[in-house]
Chains A and B, each alone.
Chain A
Amino acid sequence: MTVAAGIKTLKIDDRDFSARAQETILDVARQNGIFIPSLCELKGLSEVGACRLCLVEIKGSNRLFPACVTPVEEGMEVTTNSERLQRYRRSILELLFTERNHVCSVCVSNGHCEMQTLAQKLEITHVRFPYRYPKAEVDASHQRFVVDHNRCILCSRCVRVCDEIEGAHTWDLKGRGIHVRVITDLDEPWGSSETCTGCGKCVHVCPTGALFEKGRSVAEMMKRRQFLPYLTLMREDRE
């Protein structure tokens, strides 16, 4: 296939764009500075389409489409920010705030948490649904890292980065529904994991304060993700 044949033209929010056939709506939007919220998606990891925050409208369909996994198509007309979409996104994020105990004021990620930032961007001033206040554990058994389940949003980035990039597959999810938790090995303390390499990739892809490095104060716990595009690129070159 020639490059020209693989080019699609589409409209996003009434502006014309061209894109390569394999790209998703989210890719094109990002390249062109159009903001579409997302929490589970992270460039360099596989997409799961789970957070539902990147849902967009496509003309001709009543359904909503997750931008992170919907490939561009010729003549597509995408709306990324209608009143309706904003309403749904706010509700979804509010639900997420009710699920665990997200106390921003005493969080190591306060000020650089993706969920907190998104809440402000989506103009959430309060959560209308009742909080659940579940009892959630903090596992500080690892020498260098901590997992605080109070702040986990189950985006599964840690699971994916550990499996797809590091290759250890220390993390996975247990249970189902509202009882899902991230686990290491057979739901054993992280510190006693036989498979964890201690690389810390999971910590740095975590969008919230659920995974953090020990001994870091709030201002210091910046997540650094440069490794992800770098490793992806290096691997592509090798293949």
Chain B
Amino acid sequence: MATIDFARPTAPNQDKRWRIVESTMRRVGHHPRALIETLHTVQEAFGYLDRDALRYVAASLHVPLSRAYGVATFYHYFTLKPAGQHTCVVCTGTACYIKGANQLLGALKSMLKVEPGETTGDGKVSLLAARCLGSCGLAPAVVYDQEVAGKVSAEGLRARVAQWMSHDA
């Protein structure tokens, strides 16, 4: 199959992290089927997928813009908005639900005044609900930033998140 050498689009800006994205795309020969892998790389590098990123990736992989957007919004792991400084993921898997994950989520919702998937106005904390972390043996489970905590109580949760809210870091 003959390949047409379109001029490769250039990265949205000078940010060095685009090199990581470029190397992922190069590794897969800029094939359209590498869209999801590339989006993973972008999200890992930048924390989220913005329009510029989607436009760049779509153009580089020869994927229609609407398809790129369709894929990015189909998979809940991808986010189109930047996350807060801290993220708190409450597991809502069955085991956690049976052990009161809803109460944990409720406590955070009222404390942070946001719904799952949103970030507080000051950009400090993002609240997320996960389908299942696979830590069912430790239900109910919560992930504070990258760290998994098991058998979490509403009090412990509130205390931990309150710490984030008060710090200026």
Contacts and interface: CB of A to CB of B under 8 A. Distances in A.
Q: Do chains A and B touch in the complex (CB under 8 A)?
A: yes
Interface of A: 163, 168-176, 183-187, 194-195
B54 to A, nearest CB: 6
Interface string B49-90: 001001100000000111111100110000000000000000
Contacts of A173: 70
Contacts, number: 43
Contacts of B74: 174-176
Say whether chain B's binding surface is mostly helix, strand, loop, or mixed.
helix
Say whether chain A's binding surface is mostly helix, strand, loop, or mixed.
loop
B68 A186 contact: yes
A175 B73 contact: yes
Given A171-B66, A174-B69, A185-B65, 20 more contacts: A163-B64, A168-B64, A169-B67, A170-B64, A172-B64, A172-B70, A174-B74, A176-B73, A183-B66, A183-B70, A185-B69, A186-B51, A186-B54, A186-B55, A186-B65, A186-B66, A186-B69, A194-B65, A195-B64, A195-B65
Nearest to B69: A186
Most B CB within 10 A of own CB, among A163, A172, A173: A172
A65 to B, nearest CB: 27
A169 B66 contact: yes
A168 B67 CA distance: 11
B63 to A, nearest CB: 9
Contacts of A171: 66
Contact of B70 (A168, A174, A194, A195): A174
Nearest to A175: B73
A163 to B, nearest CB: 8
Contacts of B64: 163, 168-170, 172, 195
Contacts of A175: 73-74
A157 B88 CA distance: 40
Given A186-B51, A186-B54, A186-B55, A170 B73 contact: no
